[in-house]
Structure 1
Amino acid sequence: MAHPDDAERTENAAGPVMTDRIRHYLGAWSAVSVVQFFVAEAAVIAAWRGPAPYTRRLNLISDLGQVHCGLHGTREVCSPLHTLMNVSFVLQGVGMVIAALLITSAVLRVAAYGPAVRAEARLSEGLARAGTRRTTPLPGFRARAAVALGVAPGGGRVSRHRAIVVPRAATLAVRILLGVAGAGVAVVGFVPQDSQEAVHLAGAGAYFLGGSLALVVLGVLWIRRTAAAWPVLLCGASAFAATVIGGAVALHVPEPGTLERFMGYPITAGIAVAGAVIAYRLGVPARQARALRRASR
């Protein structure tokens, strides 16, 4: 029968230190929090007071955040709850920026898969120890790294280990793109379309392009690491394709609202899915430890 101390040791060995775990949890749930946009949008649409009913097919999302009632382009706009919509935009952006800052590349690039994260930590420690001596020859350097990883020297290329097979630059690109997209949608909230439209459009463009590309790269990185890779990749690819089309025609289509939502909705959904995957996997060691403690009683 397992001893309770075994569960404690398992939990301590299975995950990062508590501060790192809290950091990644905050980042993951910040990503999930972007779904508040859908709730806010529905509430603001319900309060719409334009001469014609608001429709997701014909009206743009930014119409909901316009401060003043009146004509904007060819659309009559009147959104009494514009403040709620703009606050939602800002919170969405803040959540994305926090996620980009707090979720480290080591966790993000392996979809928070525990064994790979721990192998990455062991590799970093091994390389740091080997690198402390400048006279260490390259073969010894690689051997120390392999030992730190638990890979026998000569038992395979260290560069092929699951902890480091994903290019670091790609993961860094995801975080940068996510941060740019978050800053962009925050600008959309701070600068409504009827104040400085050029700035507003620049923020929206950063969100659509940065968010969709971040999901495309992340989805590709996560293939073979989690089944969620495909929904994330699909969200990013569809949003990017819609963004290219929307930019090419300047949203001059019979249903501009529909096209814009194909540009934006998948980004929000994909980021929330990615955050949920990371949050769930971060909790696996603790759930395993609790199960072990229950089994030992």
Structure 2
Amino acid sequence: MTTTTDPTPKPATEILLRPRLGAALLILGTVQFSILHTIVQSAWADPTYSWWNNYISDLGAIHCGPILGNDVCSPLHASMNTAFISQGVLLIAGVLLTSNAWFPKSNTGVWRTMVAVTGLSWIVIGLIPEDVNLTGHSIGALPIFILGNIALIVAGVSASTRTRPLVRRTALILGVLGLLGFALTAIAIANPEGIIGIGVAERMTVFPLQIWVLVTGLNILKRPQAPQPAGRTREVQFFTV
């Protein structure tokens, strides 16, 4: 005679550990990037670093000299490239570990995959500084400029975020802001003497996803388990991507 027993359910602490760890990594990615960005830019002496005129990538250039119309000399370039790579690794790990923090039975694959690809993009630009291979660096950066912001908009209309309203709203707002920043970046590149500096436009494009993962990480730390909807009405109004 054979008997079967039900598997022992996992303790709540174990179930909640993955999303909490993932949330912490998402937060760490943005925080470490911001801290190292500030430290590396402060090390510039001649020339000084400008948020208006300088690309973010100028901080990771390994040689001193003219690059894309700017005089560049970044003494702590290794630290900035480390921040780029760390941002990518932590973003990918955080997205993977927080997979069960979203509304159950909703497909998060589309926007989470796009965010993960954006993480790969950060790794590429850290490994290929702009003054080493400008073409490779520029191609590697495209997902950050485009895909990351599209991911925010998709997340903002996805059924998976419906039970996290703050995360949902900020995704939509920041995604639109990021795509607007991309348009302004193109304008700034085409007209360097125009009404907006390339540094400001680029940051409008790049920072929205970093801000969003910080908001998302804090939200998941507060409520690591996938929240249940308050009711089942009007579900047809939500997309299922």
Query: Where on the TM-score scale, by shorter chain, does this alignment land: which range?
Result: 0.7 to 0.9
Is contact 2:101-2:224 (8 Å) kept?
no
Distance of 2:12 and 2:20 partners within structure 1: 12
Residue 100 of structure 1: aligned partner: 95
Residue 178 of structure 1: aligned partner: 115
- Structure 1 unaligned runs (5+)? 1-12, 111-162, 286-297
Residue 73 of structure 1: aligned partner: 68
Distance of 2:79 and 2:190 partners within structure 1: 25
Distance of 1:270 and 1:281 partners within structure 2: 16
How far 1:219 sits from its partner (Å)? 2.1
Residue 271 of structure 1: aligned partner: 213
SS in 1 for 2:71: strand
Distance of 2:34 and 2:204 partners within structure 1: 14
Residue 83 of structure 1: aligned partner: 78
Structure with max Cα Rg = 1
Distance of 1:205 and 1:284 partners within structure 2: 32
Residue 60 of structure 1: aligned partner: 55
Q: TM-score, normalised by structure 2?
A: 0.80
* Matched residues, number: 214
Is contact 1:251-1:260 (8 Å) kept?
no
- Structure 2 unaligned runs (5+)? 1-8, 228-241
**Residue 192 in 1 paired to residue 142 in 2?**
no
Is contact 1:50-1:79 (8 Å) kept?
no
Distance of 2:165 and 2:90 partners within structure 1: 23
Query: In proportion to residue count, which structure has more helix?
Result: 1
**Residue 232 in 1 paired to residue 171 in 2?**
yes
Residue 202 of structure 1: aligned partner: 139
Residue 134 of structure 1: aligned partner: none
Residue 241 of structure 1: aligned partner: 180
| Aligned residue among 155, 165, 172 for 1:218 | 155
Is contact 1:188-1:204 (8 Å) kept?
yes
Residue 41 of structure 2: aligned partner: 45
Cα deviations across residues 152-189 of structure 1 (Å, max 9, x unaligned)? Answer: xxxxxxxxxxx43x4x1xx1011100110000011111
RMSD over equivalenced CA pairs, Å: 2.5
Cα deviations across residues 244-270 of structure 1 (Å, max 9, x unaligned)? Answer: 443466464431111001011112111
- Matched residue type, 1:241: L
Distance of 1:263 and 1:227 partners within structure 2: 21
How far 1:232 sits from its partner (Å)? 2.5
Distance of 2:89 and 2:186 partners within structure 1: 25
Is contact 1:69-1:77 (8 Å) kept?
yes
Residue 144 of structure 1: aligned partner: none
Q: TM-score, normalised by structure 1?
A: 0.66
Moved over 6 A (4+): none
SS in 1 for 2:140: helix
Identical-residue share of aligned pairs (%): 31
- Matched residue type, 2:167: A
CA gap of 1:284–1:242, structure 2 versus 1, over 3 A, is closer
Distance of 1:83 and 1:199 partners within structure 2: 18
